[in-house]
Structure 1
Amino acid sequence: MKVCTSLPRTAMPVSVFVLAVQLVLLAYGGQASDNVKRCKLFSESTTEVKALSLLEPLTNKSFSVDVKNDKESYTYRFQVCGEAGKTAGAGLVQIDQSAKEVETVIGLYTVTQAIGGSDWVMLIYRNGTKYDGHCSKEMRKAIVMISCNRKVDMGELRVVLEDRDKERDCFYLFELDSSAVCPALPSQLSAGSIILIIGFVVLSVYLIAGFLYQRLVVGAKGVEQFPNYVFWTQVGNLAADGCNFVCRTRGPEEEPPTYSGVSTEPEEEPEERDDHLLPM
């Protein structure tokens, strides 16, 4: 007996769309993280992982620099967590141009240490090719100092020195400028500017939404399309009434009592009648 289960027709496109979006996000996110994860850190500490993650924009990019003198001619090639030469796992190599391009591994990205500062990251590749007669024949080590420079995305690789005149802990030191390790710039907007921007956006939304509602839903025409038109026409009177109520310091004025003054014109005297003096 077969039991068939199927999704509704309306749910299948939605499910397929959600699955496709998830696959795209996973593919993009996995690709971005895998580029850095190719570097094998000594310790998976939070600080080292954070410092190494800053170098994600520099992955899959090859950097090279030529160094020449009277007797020697070398080319140094470097990649962040990537193959810099023919040797597997080599993150930084030295190619001897005067000896049929013999490749010497300076450091492996599979043995990495990352140290981060406020505006720099120090990337250390270890376990390179052993010295022939220097530094007690220990393995070579490459130190790449990547410093903040907001003017360039990826600068040029520079050779600083090769410190091999000691018994232990010899290294090659390189420099590289990049904006990838620069700290985020603080916001240049003040609190007042942010409030003004928010207020302007809210006012714009109010006017546009209110205009569309009055025109399309209510069917208003002319100036009546303005949202709350009646209210805004009375704002001046309301403000005046409020100011009068708040700022008034005494009660309503009473009319002063009136007094009859002395008139300069002679008043008419009442007519005297002497009818009562006549004999009856």
Structure 2
Amino acid sequence: MRRVPARPPGLLPGLALLALLLVYAGAGPYAGPCSPTDIDYGALSAPPGAGHWFGTNRIGQDVFAQTARGLRESLLIGLSVALTGTAFAALVGTCAGYAGGWTDRALTFVVDLFLVVPGFLVLVVLAPPLRRAGWAGYAGALAALGWMLTARAVRGMALSLRERPYVTAARYMGVRPLRIVRRHILPHMTSFLITHATVATAGAVISEAGLSYFGFGVQPPDVSLGTLIADSTEVALAYPWMFFFPAGLLFCFVLAVNLIGEALRSALDPSAVRAEVPA
């Protein structure tokens, strides 16, 4: 019998693709022939070429620089939403599961209350004030409306872990609850939280792109992948470079994050390690 490889096959391709996207998002607005704010009035809707590697849009802006800027904005929102939402879900779920009693009932009621709130409609209503807050406002709103299912999963894990013999022994020995949670509860949730935060980043980027596509997300003069896709949808067949470069980067980012998330799940989750019986 042999065990599955410690390094899942999708990890290295996912990390390599993600690294390329991060380099492009960070250096792309400054590494190309034009900056995101430059306008070339002599090359309106120009195809890719030496002067404009990804071509230009309908007002003469360089698509290479604009796409890099939009990718950076989307990544900032996605990472902020994933980290904030996962941290808050871990806090609420752990407190509810470990404390039990009225604390569990109260926090579970709050989680269930948020679950019935139509998130998209709330974001539409909050769109005007969020526009003034910039990308940080959208990140906070998306995080506030996307932590509940994770909190319920963490609560279930905490309920199971608090009945473990070593946790019970620590309570009888008078160890403070905060110390028990930090030393005996959270370490057993690390793999789940890391995997969830990784995959949630892709979900947050898709959510932001969807909101921006319908006009409720990032607003000019800021750009994101969603706004670039929305602006170029009508001319996707006539000027495909305006649409397919931002859409392709969105696809590549989601693919990279999903590959990394699946690899992390296989590597960090003990139940994912299975023995293979030779034929």
Give the TM-score range, shorter chain. Answer: under 0.3
- Higher CA-based Rg: 1
TM-score by length of 1: 0.21
TM-score by length of 2: 0.21
Of Structure 1 and Structure 2, the greater strand share is in 1
Of Structure 1 and Structure 2, the greater helix share is in 2
Which structure would you say has the larger RCO, counting Cα contacts within 8 Å and 6 or more residues apart? 2
